[in-house]
Amino acid sequence: MFATPLGCNLWYNHASTDGFIFLYNATHPILAKPTTSSSSSSSSSSSSICSPMAASFFFLLLLPLSFFFTDSSLASVQDPHLVVQEVQRSINESRTRRNLGYLSCRTGNPIDDCWRCDPNWETNRKRLADCAIGFGKNAIGGRNGRFYVVTDAGDDDPLNPRPGTLRHAVIQNEPLWIIFKRDMVIQLRQELVMNSFKTIDGRGASVHVAGGPCITIHYATNIIIHGIHIHDCKRGGNGNIRDSPQHSGWWTISDGDGVSIFGGKNIWVDHCSLSNCNDGLIDAIHGSTAITISNNYMTHHDKVMLLGHSDSYTQDKNMQVTIAFNHFGEGLVQRMPRCRHGYFHVVNNDYTHWEMYAIGGSASPTIYSQGNRFLAPDVRYRKEVTKHEDAPESEWRHWNWRSEGDMMLNGAYFRQSGAGAASSYARAYSLSARPSSLVGSITVTAGALNCRRGSRC
What gap in Å lies between CA 202 and CA 46, rounded to an integer?
25
What gap in Å lies between CA 184 and CA 448, rounded to an integer?
14
CA–chain centroid gap for 218, Å, is 17
Catalytic residue among 143, 167, 335, 434: 335
335 is catalytic: yes
Contacts of 74 (CB under 8 A, 6+ apart): 138, 266
Region of 308 on the Ramachandran plot (φ > 0 left; ψ -120 to 50 alpha; else beta): left
DSSP letter for each residue of 273-339: EEE--SS-SEEEETT-EEEEEES-EEESEEE-EEESS-TT-GGGGG-EEEEES-EE-TTEEE-SSEE
- Burial of 223-245, coded b for 16+ CB within 10 Å and e otherwise, reads bbbbbbbbbbbebbeeeebbbee
Beta partners for residue 62, in sequence order: none
What gap in Å lies between CA 435 and CA 438, rounded to an integer?
6
What gap in Å lies between CA 451 and CA 457, rounded to an integer?
4
Beta partners for residue 387, in sequence order: 360
Among 232, 271, 268, which residue's Cα sits nearest to residue 132?
Answer: 268
Neighbours of 110 (CB within 10 A): 29
Active-site positions read 335
